[in-house]
Structure formats: structure tokens, C-alpha cells
Structure 1
Amino acid sequence: MTREELQKRILTILEEEFEFESPGLDDNLRDDHGFDSIDAIELLAKIEKMLGISLSRQEKEQAMTIRTINDILDYIERMQAGRKTSNDSAPRP
């Protein structure tokens, strides 16, 4: 999935599920939209479902640094790249 596709899907989730109005990519989620830790947990669950994966504990802990929508997109891209690298280096049967 391209960054543009991810962005569109994340914005849709934030607008429909969390009632964000015209979110900017660099808006502070907490300060500008009242996003709290419970919202963050719900968003991670939606990201898991959207990507069809289960996040590891470490991946969930890495999400604690997210402050903006761009941070969410960067996080997903890093996570996907890390999983691709892990899968590429896994032994082949």
C-alpha cells in the first residue's frame, strides 16, 4: 500500500470513527483533536485490522511516540519495512 493510500485510509478512520474535522497531517492529535490513550489503543486495533496483521508488543510500544498523522504514516511504513526485512531474511524451507 502506498503512503497516499495509507493516508487516505487513516484520514477516513480518524474522520469517521474519531470524529476529526478536517485533520491536518501535522496536527497534534492530543492538543488539536483531544486524542487520548484509549483512542490510541482503538486506532492501533483499527490499523491491525486494516493491514491484516497483529502488532507485536514492541511495535505497540513504538507507537507511543506518535503525535501527528504524519507520525502514524511513518510508523506504518517503518513497521511494514521491518516486517518485509524480517520475512526476507527468514530461512526458506
Structure 2
Amino acid sequence: MLKRLRRWWLQRDAPSPMAPEQLQALMDINLLEIQLAALDALKSSTPAAEAARLRSHAWLASMRGQGPVGTPNWSELRAEARALNRDLAAALAAAQIDAPSEA
């Protein structure tokens, strides 16, 4: 029994470690989702915030719609996510300044 278990263990495919560019891209995508949720919660109606929000929602929907199709270009995904994050950060900052305080 132990020999069969050992043979099975040695034949299995070990999980491959995540590449640094993949990890960085996934972190930027997660940050994008967090900022987008925060902007959605603030319900900012400025044209710049609405445009950034719509672009981000569309990009995330296209990413989810692709599914596991080959190996994505992680550096390209990271660059797109970072650009959207910059737009969302500016929109969030403007929305927080315009938001009434709840003190």
C-alpha cells in the first residue's frame, strides 16, 4: 500500500509556481475590482468618473468572458489594469472630495 501511494505521489504533476508577472497582474486586477466597487458605492455622477467606471466594467467583463484560453500576456494585462487603476484612483479622489461628509 505504501509503495502504491509513493508511486502515485511521484507520478503526479506538481503545481507550477506563479510567475512574478502573473502575480503582479492579478494583484493589479484585484485592486481594479476594489476601486471599482468603491466608486460604485459612492455613486459619483461626474462624466470622468462615469467614463472610468464604464471602461473598467467593460474591461473586466471582457476578461471574465475570455475564460481559460491559452496563456494570457500577463505584462499586457498588467499594463491595461494599471492604466484603468490610475483613472479610477483619480475618479475616486474627485468623488470623495465631492461626497458630503457623514459626520
Range of TM-score over shorter length: 0.3 to 0.5
Larger Rg: 2
* Structure having the larger proportion of residues in helix: 2
Higher relative contact order (CA 8 A, sep 6+): 2
